[in-house]
Structure formats: C-alpha cells, structure tokens
Amino acid sequence: MVIKSAVVPVAGYGTRLLPATKSQPKEMLPVARKPIVQYVVEELVSNGIQQILFVTGRSKASIENHFDHDPELFRALQEANKQDMLKEVDFEDLKANFFYTRQPHQKGLGDAVLHGENFAGEEPFLVALGDSILGLNAVSRAVSRMVEVFDSKRASCVIAVEEVPAQETRHYGIVQPEEAADGVFRIVNLVEKPLPGEAPSNLAIAGRYIFSPVIFDMIRRVEPDRRGEIQLTNAIQLMCDEGRRVMAVKLSPEEKRYDIGNFPSYFESFVEFALADPEYGEGFRKVLERLVAKSAVTA
C-alpha cells in the first residue's frame, strides 16, 4: 500500500516561542541551516508522500513562499554562478505538490485536520505536525513503518509514539497500550495531556498519524474542550470505543523527535543539528566547548 497525501497543520500561534513567533510562523524558525517545516517536508517525501496540504492561518504566508519558485533569487544566483545555492532553494526536485488552506479560527488540532477532508477524499492519509522533526536531519523511516502496520493490521489509525519522562506527560497525548508495549502494539485508550499520576503510560503521541477517512466523522462527534478546542486525541478515542483498530509504532532512539514547541527543545535541536553540520559542525563544536568552559568558570 502507498499513502500519497499528507495534511500538515501549521496554524498554531506559537505562543510558547514569543517574541520569535510574533510575525513569523514557528515552523519557519531555522534549525541550523533549514526552517523546521523544510525538514518535515523532506522526511515526508522520502517516505513516499507526493502531495502535502498545509493547514495554515494568518501570518503564515512565508511557508507558501518558501516552497515556491523565486524568479529574482533564481536569476541572481544564476548570474553569480552559485549552482550549489540554486539547488538548495529550488524544491522542484522534491516532486511534491503543495496545497494550502486556512483554518480561520484556532479551534484545535482536530478542527485543523478536518480542513483536510476534501483533500484526503476516500483515501487513507498522513497527518504530520509542522513543528516536529523526526530523526537527526529528518532521516527517519517511521512513516514507512506506520504505512506497513496500517496495511498489515487493517488499522483505522496508526500513531507514532515515543517514551517521555513521567513528569512530562502533561504536555502530550498519552496512549494506553493493550498489553506489553514493544515496537508495534494496539492502543485501547488515549488521554490528552494527563496530570502527573493520571497518565496511563509514558508513551506520548509523537506528531505523526495515519488515518482512514473515518476520522473525519469522529472529529465531528467530538465536543470542544473547556478552551473551545476540538482535540484530535478525543476523536481517536472514539475510534477505540467503536472497536476500531488503533495501532502504535514506537520510535527508535535514533528516531528521536525534535519537538520545537518551546525554547528548551528549540535550543537543543538547533545545537544538535549545527554540531552535525558537515561543513561547520566541527568548528562549532570547538566554539561550544570554549563557551561551556567559560560559562562554567563564571558560574
């Protein structure tokens, strides 16, 4: 089976990253050389995705511009004979089609996904959160493994999950496995952002989902939460309640998820990607060592 379509929600305000996100999308913040959303797109395309719908909002136009051809830049680079640069800024090689729609009101992740209904049609599709990179430099086969599980288990939904420390479960959707949770397992319940002590496990929903189109009816049945948001997690719970097969694929340690929704993880991701840069990584390592030694002396 192939899954060709992905819905990428990018409409959030990014309030935890203010003031950096006041007038630019958090998905456009650079992690070393590239904006976050470019890593996401490269990961999806390398896993067989051919068309991507961004669910955007006001002040997100730079995402659309980023993936578009820029004739002036193209001409300037060509005249300066900067062939390497030309390759870096042209996304035609990616062979993906980009679509855009706006979520006019911030009514939650479930509502954002619902904006992909006409795009997905009758086919299963992927949802990839635009602020999460899977794997260093977005090298990850997780989505391909999820597609295999979706097919072989005849699932209605497959979710990527990762282990998180117990005190962090309140930042994520947390899943309850049917039994022992090794690489692939069935999910029986999900809780969105449980308080410490109320989490059914330490396995967090990690920003990649595959859905059969039945998810759209489930989303429509979800009541808004106290902040008026339609939670995607609650729509998936309705699938479990109906006895539909909801499966999890656990990320391996080298498929670490870089969740760029807050400053500590943004800083860490930037430094890790910069250290891995083939051209500047080694020099940057020395700078970092010097800075760390200096701050240890002054502390």
What is the closest distance, in whole angstroms, from the C-beta atom of residue 259 to ligand G1P in the complex? 5
| 168 or 282: CB nearest ligand G1P | 168
Closest CA to 161 of 206, 200, 194, 201: 206
| 129 or 143: CB nearest ligand G1P | 129
What is the closest distance, in whole angstroms, from the C-beta atom of residue 205 to ligand G1P in the complex? 4
Closest CA to 102 of 138, 134, 60: 60
Residue given tokens 């300037």 in the structure block:
76
What is the closest distance, in whole angstroms, from the C-beta atom of residue 71 to ligand G1P in the complex? 36
| 13 or 91: CB nearest ligand G1P | 13
What is the closest distance, in whole angstroms, from the C-beta atom of residue 108 to ligand G1P in the complex? 8
| 77 or 111: CB nearest ligand G1P | 111
What is the closest distance, in whole angstroms, from the C-beta atom of residue 120 to ligand G1P in the complex? 19
- Cα(91)–Cα(205) distance, integer angstroms: 30
What is the closest distance, in whole angstroms, from the C-beta atom of residue 266 to ligand G1P in the complex? 13
Whether 235 and 215 have beta carbons less than 8 Å apart is answered as yes
Q: How big, in percent rounded to 5, are the helix, strand and coil portions of the chain?
A: 40, 20, 35
| 5 or 132: CB nearest ligand G1P | 132
Which residues contribute to the site for ligand G1P (CB under 6 A)? 109, 129, 132, 172-173, 192, 204-205, 207, 232-233, 259, 261
| 63 or 128: CB nearest ligand G1P | 128
Q: Which residues are CB-neighbours of 35 under 8 A, at least 6 positions away?
A: 27, 28, 29, 66
For strand 246-250 and strand 184-192, is the pairing parallel, antiparallel, or unpaired? antiparallel
The structure tokens listed for 44 are: 């999806």
Cα separations in angstroms, 74 against 82, 84, 91, 257, 291: 10, 12, 12, 33, 38
What is the closest distance, in whole angstroms, from the C-beta atom of residue 257 to ligand G1P in the complex? 8
The structure tokens listed for 279 are: 């051209």
The torsion defined by the Cα of 267, 272, 273 and 274, in degrees rounded to 10, comes to: 80
Q: Report which secondary-structure segment, H or E, holds 185.
A: strand 184-192
Q: Report which secondary-structure segment, H or E, holds 250.
A: strand 246-250
| 25 or 207: CB nearest ligand G1P | 207
Which position's Cβ is nearest ligand G1P?
Answer: 173
